[in-house]
Amino acid sequence: MSRKTKKHFYAMSRRRRNFLFAFVILLLALVTVLDRAVHTARRESAPVAANLSNPVDLRKYHGKSFLVVKVVDGDTIDINIPDANYPHTRIRLWGVDTPETEKSPGGEMYFGNEASEFTKNLVLGKTVAVYLDEGNNTRGKYGRLLAYVQLPNGRYLNELLLSEGYAYADLRFDHSFYNKYKLLESSARSLNKGLWKEAAREELPSWLQRGKPDLLNK
């Protein structure tokens, strides 16, 4: 091979190596971008997915009985069955909203601790039946199970909280007992039960104040 041919050969090899190197760098950059895009899409879609009705939840929980191992507050409890990576399943009661307790990030609200105690006395350490709202969401915004909780005596915790004045009917979301829960709350208000005896408008949740301008005449 002549000196000129060798020089041309080495020049081609160098250009080929540079091309391959550049191609590999570009490929790695593309893979990195795609990987980030996939992970971002998963993160952004998670809250939406959590709100979809889940047949797995229906099979796992609906109509079944569990032991209540913790009361977080008036409308949130834990039952003794694992949920994904958690040792227990957290339930958010369908259709009701109780005042926040002192443990809440937003601080304690009027009658919050009373509502929490009421729920604790009824369910902590007891076996309850869990019912989901078939055809509706099984999970809420934070991934908690949405459910109606039946006590050993056959009554429902959701309804007792409303009828005894420990909760507001949560009318922000539609569910099967929407109208019934409105009536239960209205009855408790008219009888001045629980929080309705002395609650001032500014002590109610902001969503409730906006939704019912004539709620309290105080």
Q: Is 74 in the same domain as 149?
A: yes
Catalytic site includes residue 155 = no
pLDDT of residue 47: 32
| 144 is a catalytic site residue | yes
Return the DSSP state at 201. G
Out of 39-53, 73-87, 141-155, which region has the weakest mean confidence (pLDDT)? 39-53
The chain-wide mean pLDDT, for the chain, equals 80
Number of domains in the chain: 2
The token pair that represents 29 in the structure block: 């950059």
Alpha-carbon distance 169 to 184, whole Å? 8
Of these ranges, 10-24, 52-66, 68-82, 91-105, the one predicted with the greatest mean pLDDT is: 68-82
pLDDT digits over 167-177, tens only? 999 988 899 99
217 is a domain residue? no
Residue 33 lies in a domain: yes
Residues 12 and 93 in one domain: no
Same-domain check for residues 107 and 6 = no
* pLDDT above 90: percentage of residues in the chain: 57
Amino acid at 93: L
Residues of the domain holding 39:
1-50
Q: Are residues 117 and 41 in the same domain?
A: no
Same domain, 33 and 70: no
The per-residue pLDDT for range 7-53, each reduced to its tens digit, is: 554 455 666 666 655 554 554 444 333 333 333 333 233 333 344 56
The catalytic position among 15, 43, 92, 117 is 92
216, part of any domain:
no
Which of 139, 144, 185, 189 is catalytic? The answer is 144
**Per-residue pLDDT tens digits for 105-138:** 667 788 889 999 999 999 999 999 999 999 899 9
CATH no. for residue 91? 2.40.50.90
The gap from C-alpha 137 to its chain's centroid, in whole angstroms, comes to 10
Catalytic residue among 100, 139, 159, 189: 100
